[in-house]
């Protein structure tokens, strides 16, 4: 048994609607692909993972998974972020644990993911990497996979801490700058372009080429 990553990827065509004030539809689609590729490449380079499972119907994500030896399931792919994660961890219920992250944290690195794995305690356990504003839960690691109920959204971080504690599990909190910076709206674009860890990413270069930084 081992720890698997479960990555929900909704269909990227038409994704990132909240970025509409800053980017037209085609550009939003392309940005979503660039960001997702960076997240998946970081996972592919991470030592200590048993595997990566994508919950998706998206062609780009499915093709990427095939090239990198990732597993894909369509079960729960259209059930929202929480539903997709729950479907993935149900499939991996026999594993030691699951790590889940979104596909829009392009500054994440393999070293950051490995730091989460290193900090994670024997089960039952719950490790979390918060969003920069302590609203979102940008990385969640659970042992066993169903250890704590999950409900993602704009204000999930403190509710997730409370859910773990209600079950007698003290969360391990591991802030990481790359994991912390997700891109959902135009304000996030500005913040991302100001962060030093963003400068090494293809996402930064892509946004810079379009005059957004």
Angle at 56 between CA 133 and CA 91, to 5 degrees: 95
**What would the two tokens of residue 143 be?**
């042992």
User: Is the pLDDT score of 1 beyond 70?
Assistant: no
Does 88 map to a domain?
Answer: yes
User: Is the pLDDT score of 168 beyond 70?
Assistant: yes
Does 117 map to a domain?
Answer: yes
Distances (CA, A) of 9 to 15, 33, 64, 80, 175: 10, 10, 12, 9, 23
| Mean pLDDT of the 48-64 span | 97
User: Is the pLDDT score of 213 beyond 80?
Assistant: no
Contacts of 93 (CB under 8 A, 6+ apart): 144, 145, 146
β-pair type (97-100, 51-56) = unpaired
User: For the domain that residue 73 is a member of, what is the CATH number?
Assistant: 3.90.550.10
Does 99 map to a domain?
Answer: yes
Q: What's the total number of domains in the chain?
A: 1
65-118 tens-digit pLDDT = 999 999 999 999 999 999 999 999 999 999 999 999 999 999 999 999 999 999
Does 52 map to a domain?
Answer: yes
Range of the domain at 161: 3-207
User: Is the pLDDT score of 154 beyond 90?
Assistant: no
Please indicate, yes or no, whether the overall pTM of this predicted structure exceeds 0.85: yes
71-85 tens-digit pLDDT = 999 999 999 999 999
Q: What pLDDT is attached to residue 187?
A: 94
Residue 100, classed as helix, strand or coil, is strand
Does 213 map to a domain?
Answer: no
User: Is the pLDDT score of 212 beyond 90?
Assistant: no
**What span, in angstroms and rounded, lies between the C-alpha atoms of 178 and 7?**
16
Does 49 map to a domain?
Answer: yes
């Amino acid at each position: 048994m081992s720890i698997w990553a479960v990555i929900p990827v909704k269909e990227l065509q038409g994704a990132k609607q909240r970025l509409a004030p800053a980017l037209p539809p085609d550009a939003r689609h392309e940005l979503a692909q660039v960001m997702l590729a960076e997240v998946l490449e970081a996972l592919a380079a991470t030592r200590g993972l048993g595997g990566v499972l994508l919950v998706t119907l998206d062609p780009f994500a499915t093709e990427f998974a095939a090239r990198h030896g990732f597993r894909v399931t369509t079960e729960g792919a259209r059930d929202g972020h929480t539903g997709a994660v729950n479907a993935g961890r149900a499939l991996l219920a026999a594993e030691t644990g699951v790590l889940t992250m979104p596909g829009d944290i392009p500054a994440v690195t393999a070293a950051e993911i490995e730091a989460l794995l290193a900090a994670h305690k024997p089960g039952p356990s719950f490790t979390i990497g918060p969003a920069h504003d302590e609203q979102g839960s940008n990385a969640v690691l659970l042992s066993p996979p169903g250890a704590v109920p999950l409900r993602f959204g704009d204000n999930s971080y403190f509710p997730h801490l409370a859910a773990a504690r209600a079950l007698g599990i003290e969360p391990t909190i591991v802030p990481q700058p790359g994991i912390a910076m997700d891109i959902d709206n135009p304000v996030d674009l500005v913040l991302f372009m100001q962060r030093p860890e963003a400068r090494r990413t293809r996402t930064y270069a892509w946004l810079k080429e379009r005059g957004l930084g």
